[in-house]
Structure 1
Amino acid sequence: MKVAVSQDKCIAAGQCVLRADRVFDQRDDDGVVVLLDENPAAQQAPAVRLAAEFCPAQAIQIED
């Protein structure tokens, strides 16, 4: 799994961090998503998929 984020699309809702905090974080100044791990371990995959699904801005892209 390869993960990418679009910081330009991000609206700082934080849904990604709530679901996969080992893969996503937020910038302190504006809350925009920060990708911590573009190739997360297999056990993180369900959480990453949920984060992408619940992202209101659709700012997370997943490639299998």
Structure 2
Amino acid sequence: MAYKITDACVSCGACAAECPVGAISEGDSIYVIDADACVECGACAEACPVGAPQAE
């Protein structure tokens, strides 16, 4: 299951900088993860200061 960024996102970009496959991009109000590109490594969750990325 891919990771998904919840509404807790503060749009800091920490997760996008850590994604090894570039699956995270800035959305309208929060960052979003391309589920098809996500390799479920958890790097985004570890980098996020507010715990917004969650495994689906």
Q: Is the pair's TM-score, using the shorter chain for normalization, greater than 0.5?
A: yes
Q: Secondary structure at the match of 1:40?
A: coil
Q: Secondary structure at the match of 1:25?
A: strand
Name the residue aligned to 2:3: 3
What is the TM-score normalised by the length of structure 2? 0.70
Kindly provide the CA deviation profile for residues 9-34 of structure 1, in whole angstroms up to 9, marking residues without a partner as x: 1001101110116221112x54x211
Would you tell me which structure has more helix in proportion to its own residues? 1
Gaps of 5+ in 1: none
Is the CA contact 1:3–1:61 (under 8 Å) kept in the aligned structure 2? yes
Q: Secondary structure at the match of 1:4?
A: strand
What is the TM-score normalised by the length of structure 1? 0.64
Name the residue aligned to 1:19: 18
Give identity over the alignment, percent: 25
CA distance in 1, matches of 2:55, 2:36: 9
TM-superposed deviation, 1:62: 2.1
Q: Secondary structure at the match of 1:61?
A: strand
Gaps of 5+ in 2: none
Is the CA contact 2:4–2:32 (under 8 Å) kept in the aligned structure 1? no
Name the residue aligned to 1:55: 48
Is the CA contact 1:52–1:59 (under 8 Å) kept in the aligned structure 2? yes
CA RMSD of aligned residues (A): 2.4
